[in-house]
Amino acid sequence: SQQGEEDPQALSIQEGENATMNCSYKTSINNLQWYRQNSGRGLVHLILIRSNEREKHSGRLRVTLDTSKKSSSLLITASRAADTASYFCATDAFYNQGGKLIFGQGTELSVKP
Amino acid sequence: GAGVSQSPRYKVAKRGQDVALRCDPISGHVSLFWYQQALGQGPEFLTYFQNEAQLDKSGLPSDRFFAERPEGSVSTLKIQRTQQEDSAVYLCASSQRFLNTEAFFGQGTRLTVV
């Protein structure tokens, strides 16, 4: 079963706008990761945030993590049409061995030119 | 190779047929994972290898599913007596270490059982 819940399920914005996606999870974690998936393709890793980190940046991406609320958000600034994809959060649960990931249902982002 | 390679990309199987899906991980990656992704859903964990040892197979949905990685490199996911509910994309991922590290995913094998 999937641990994460993502919100919204779908998001449509204009190019240049910011996109924010949220993820909630249930158990204690080692880290939380965000992945992007273009239609019919494999997943591409975007960013990893460890349980002792609160915020992380990578280019136009900003991720926050609130372990007390068991939630994370992904912000994509100045969006481009090429950002159109599904975005998944995935947690590496504290009790895991080996880095097994539990994925959310995903947010489908559409960026209109 | 440059990335994780999976074959075949597409597979159509008649109900009851056995199938074998192959994954070539990134060279030197210790960890290998299989996930199943139904249409419109996030990937769901199937099984995990550290080198040749299968350390977690808790996600395999039934005993018709079997995975191996005999030499700690290439892995095969076998599904016996396929059923329609097995139709999904099967994703393989590898990672360099086993803690706090990103996973690199292959393009997946889309299995359709008719």
Whether pLDDT at A2 is above 70: no
User: What is the amino acid identity at position A102?
Assistant: I
Taking contacts as CB-CB distances below 8 angstroms, the residues of chain A near B108 are: 41-42
Ramachandran quadrant class, A106 (left: phi over 0; alpha: psi -120 to 50; beta: rest): left
pLDDT of residue B65: 98
Taking contacts as CB-CB distances below 8 angstroms, the residues of chain B near A31 are: 100
Kindly provide the residue ranges of all beta strands, DSSP E only, lying in chain A, ordered along the sequence: 5-7, 10-14, 19-24, 29-37, 43-50, 55-58, 61-66, 71-76, 85-93, 102-103, 107-112
Taking contacts as CB-CB distances below 8 angstroms, the residues of chain A near B103 are: 33, 43, 45, 99, 101
pLDDT of residue B1: 53
Interface residues on A facing B, Cβ-Cβ cutoff 8 A:
1-2, 4, 30-31, 33, 35, 41-45, 48, 50, 88, 90, 92, 97-106
* B44/A103 Cβ within 8 A: yes
pLDDT digits (tens, 9 = 90+) for A31-84: 999 999 998 788 999 999 999 999 999 999 999 999 999 999 999 999 999 999
Q: How far is A110 from chain B (nearest CA, A)?
A: 15
Q: How many CB atoms within 10 Å of residue A80?
A: 12
- Name the residue of chain B whose CA is nearest to A40's CA: B107
Phi then psi for residue A41, to 5 deg, are -120, 175
Question: Which helix or strand (DSSP H or E) is residue B23 part of?
Answer: strand B19-24
* A4/B105 Cβ within 8 A: no
SS (H, E, C) B62-104: CCCEEEECCCCCCEEEEECCCCHHHCEEEEEEEECCCCCCCCE
* A44/B103 Cβ within 8 A: no
pLDDT digits (tens, 9 = 90+) for B14-62: 999 999 999 999 999 999 999 999 998 999 999 999 999 999 999 999 9
Q: How far apart are the C-alpha atoms of A69 and A47, rounded to whole Å?
A: 20
Higher-confidence position of A100 and A55 = A55
- Helix, coil or strand: residue B49: strand
pLDDT of residue A1: 47
pLDDT digits (tens, 9 = 90+) for B66-79: 999 999 999 999 99
Best of B41, B91, B96 to mutate (most A CBs within 10 Å, chain A): B41
Length in residues, chain B: 114
Whether pLDDT at B81 is above 80: yes
pLDDT of residue A40: 75
